[in-house]
A and B are shown apart, each in its own frame.
Chain A
Amino acid sequence: MLTCKDASRLISERQERPLGIGELWALRLHLWLCVSCRRFARQLGLLRRVLRTLLRRMETDVDGPELAPEARERIRKVLAERNAGTF
């Protein structure tokens, strides 16, 4: 019988690798019996789904965080120097 500690580890690892058939059944049984681990599993799933929207957000979100003006200026300078001739 799995402990919650073992189960939580498997719940995290199944996001990384396919579980073996034994692990899968042991986890399924444990989840059936344990409210906290069911919540843990849902929370990890949620976290993954939400985080994976972040890149998409960066790609479309024009109001995202911006560079400080000084940083902009520094970068502009470096780009001009290192690209002299191509600009």
Chain B
Amino acid sequence: MRDPHKAEEAVQETLLAALQARERFAGQASTRTWLIGILKHKVMDQFRREAREAPLDDPDALADDDIDTHACFAEDGHWHERLSDWGNPEKTLQTNQFWAVLQRCLDFLPARLARLFVLREVMEEETETICQELSITPTNLWTMLYRARMGLRQCLERSWVA
């Protein structure tokens, strides 16, 4: 969520929903886990509203959103440049510096792609749920996730690994 007002609204709605439902919270999970669960739904609501205004399946929007995946490849379908070896940076990947770079790279992605990507990879929403809620086909979702991954990978390679 890039717009700070919308983020604030989502937090507010989450706390409100939590207050209204606090009897139902039987302490089965930590409070944070419970709140994050509600927040996930609120974020999904927000995305759904935005998707209604600008349908994700709109071919024009899709074209607009295009991370130019073709530019990564030569005409014969091979990578233009050999990809770098990132090594095995699991540890450095957990540092705050990495999260800052990641945030910046997500900001470079077209907003729609970034949203879908975060929904799928950070919030671990199921493919079926995303497709249903945002009324897109799985094939379309896969294409958009592919573009998001290509864009993100390239950005990370440039600004973090290098």
Residues on A close to B: CB < 8 A?
3-6, 8-9, 12-13, 15-17, 35-37, 39-40, 42-44, 46-55, 58-60, 67, 71, 74-75, 78-79, 82-83, 86
Contacts and interface: CB of A to CB of B under 8 A. Distances in A.
Contacts of A6: 77
Interface residues of B, number: 47
Contact of B8 (A35, A51, A67, A82): A67
Contact of B153 (A16, A43, A51, A78): A43
Given A9-B146, A44-B153, A55-B124, A4 B77 contact: yes
Interface string B121-162: 111100100000000001001100110011011001100000
B93 interface: yes
* A-side interface mostly: helix
Interface stretch (B29-37, B41-49, B52-60): B29-37
A85 to B, nearest CB: 11
Contact of A47 (B19, B85, B99, B153): B153
A44 B78 contact: no
A10 to B, nearest CB: 10
A52 B117 CA distance: 12
B38 interface: no
B108 interface: no
Interface of B: 4, 8, 11-12, 15-16, 19-20, 30, 32-33, 36, 69-70, 72-73, 76-79, 82-86, 89-90, 93-94, 98-99, 121-124, 127, 138, 141-142, 145-146, 149-150, 152-153, 156-157
Contact of B83 (A13, A39, A71): A39
Given A3-B73, A59-B33, A59-B36, A43 B86 contact: yes
A74 B8 contact: yes
13 contacts: A8-B146, A12-B146, A16-B142, A17-B127, A40-B83, A43-B86, A43-B156, A44-B149, A50-B98, A51-B121, A75-B12, A75-B15, A78-B16
A16 B145 contact: yes
Contacts of B156: 43, 47
Nearest to B117: A51
Nearest to A52: B124
Given A78-B12, A78-B16, A42 B142 contact: no
Contact of A39 (B11, B86, B123): B86
